[in-house]
Amino acid sequence: MIVTDFRVEPATWLADMADLRSVRTEVFVLEQSVPEDEEWDEHDARSHHVIARDADDRPIGTGRLTPMHTIGRMAIMRDWRGKGVGAAILRVLLERARELHYPAVELHSQLHAVHFYARAGFVAFGDEYNECGIAHRNMRLELDVAPVRVAEPLPPVPEAQLWLSTNRDEARAALLAVIGGARRDLAIMTRDLDPDLLDHADVLDALKHVATGGPNARIRILVQEPSRASTLAPRVITLAQRLSSTFAIRTPIEEIDRQFAGAFIVNDRGGWFERTLAIRFEGEGSSYAPPRQSQLLRLFDAIWERSEPVAEMRRLEI
């Protein structure tokens, strides 16, 4: 079975030094007894690095491409060997070498890894030799340099519309704009389902349009006071009950989350609207501001993971 719960991405020595060093220290210094003063060199700061991370963002593998057209420091954590991580790292390094128009790359392969590199097209040359107390062979791969590609123009950045609300109508208009701008995903943080905003015919129609817009539609709602919400916003609950495959409602159980004072909504196209105090209509937002949208979504996701389905709404078979 091919393991897919890891990713490989470019890294820099300045930004990712700690993670790169942690893998190489574990594999080379501790496991293979390579002297530390031989593991680190002046090429690290000048090389193109690659790092592999698991699903929890922990570093599990490294590799580098030096200005001398050599690949090295290929290291995979013990528990991840034989799962395709090394091949993925090597592939990314070779792609980078082709982008840089290197005609060939070389490497110093430990003897046990010669067959691994040979499968990627490397050819061994020269005699076996000792490096850091470990037997090695030199290997080389001639590259088919990738043709220069003309970069396609980036899609235009949507023109952002800013919203400031001071009353119910302005807050409802901003809420409708965020819902209407959604592709298929909405996240709503609310104290009591905001009856003056959410439990309104126009807003309910907009939510229904998103919920029925496609098979991957999803509307998640965090409600801090579900008992109160059941009384104040019955039409929202009825809609969620009818479209239970799309709607998911949870309530926070951690005290810090239950005491969160604000309310907000974010969509999956960079739009958001936030009220610092959920009991008031004053708020601000934008139709396209990905940095703030991402911040609010990360906050929502963190609280969502700590929350539980709403008991009152389970009795309604939501």
pLDDT digits (tens, 9 = 90+) for 225-237: 998 988 898 999 9
Percent of the chain at pLDDT > 70 equals 93
CATH number for the domain harbouring residue 25: 3.40.630.30
Shared-domain flag, residues 103 and 181: no
Same domain, 38 and 135: yes
pLDDT at residue 4 above 80? no
pLDDT at 229: 87
Q: Are residues 98 and 11 in the same domain?
A: yes
The answer to whether residue 277 sits within a structural domain is yes
Residue 149 forms part of a structural domain: no
Residue 154: inside a domain: no
Residue range 285-308: mean pLDDT, rounded: 94
pLDDT of residue 133: 84
* End-to-end C-alpha distance for the chain, whole angstroms: 37
Which of 295, 262, 265, 293 has its CA nearest to residue 177? 265
Q: Which of 142, 174, 192 is the last residue of a domain?
A: 142
Q: For residue 90, what are the domain limits?
A: 6-142
Q: 199 and 132 share a domain?
A: no
* Banded model confidence at residue 156, pLDDT cuts 50, 70, 90: confident
Please give the mean pLDDT across all residues of the chain: 90
- Using DSSP's 3-state secondary structure scheme, residue 146 falls into coil
DSSP-assigned letter for residue 182:
-
pLDDT at 318 over 50: no
Is 90 exceeded by the pLDDT of residue 306?
yes
Q: 133 with 173, same domain? A: no
Identify whether the C-beta of residue 239 lies closer than 8 Å to the C-beta of residue 204: yes
CATH of the domain at 235: 3.30.870.10
Judgement on whether residues 127 and 74 belong to the same structural domain of the protein: yes
Asked whether residue 125 is assigned to any structural domain, the reply reads: yes
Record the tokens describing residue 210, joined without a space. Answer: 């998103």
Q: Give me the number of domains the chain comprises.
A: 2
pLDDT of residue 209: 95
- Asked if residue 249 is part of any domain, the answer here is yes
Q: Quick one: pLDDT at residue 315?
A: 45
Q: How far is CA 178 from the centre of its chain?
A: 22
pLDDT of residue 159: 81
* pTM (predicted TM-score): 0.53
pLDDT > 50? residue 285: yes
Position 153 in a domain: no
Looking at the fold, whether 207 and 133 belong to one and the same domain comes out as no
Query: 230 and 295: one domain?
Result: yes
**pLDDT for position 167:** 96
Digit-coded pLDDT (tens) for 117-145: 999 899 999 999 998 888 999 999 999 75
Domain for residue 147, yes or no? no
Is 82's pLDDT higher than 50? Answer: yes
What average pLDDT score do residues 241-254 get? Answer: 92
Domain's final residue, options 80, 109, 142: 142
Same domain, yes or no: 138 and 215: no
Residues 168, 114, single domain; the answer is: no
88, 7 Cβ separation under 8 angstroms? no
Is there a domain that residue 148 lies in?
no
Task: Quote the pLDDT of residue 151.
Answer: 66
Q: pLDDT band at 2, cuts 50/70/90?
A: very low
Strand ranges (E), the chain: 6-11, 48-54, 59-65, 70-76, 104-110, 123-131, 134-142, 162-165, 185-190, 218-223, 247-252, 263-267, 272-275, 283-286, 307-309
Same domain, 194 and 104: no
Percent of the chain exceeding pLDDT 90 equals 78
Residue 293 pLDDT exceeds 50: yes
- Region 49-73: what's the mean pLDDT? 94
Average pLDDT rounded to a whole number, residues 227-249:
91
Do residues 129 and 169 both lie within one domain? no
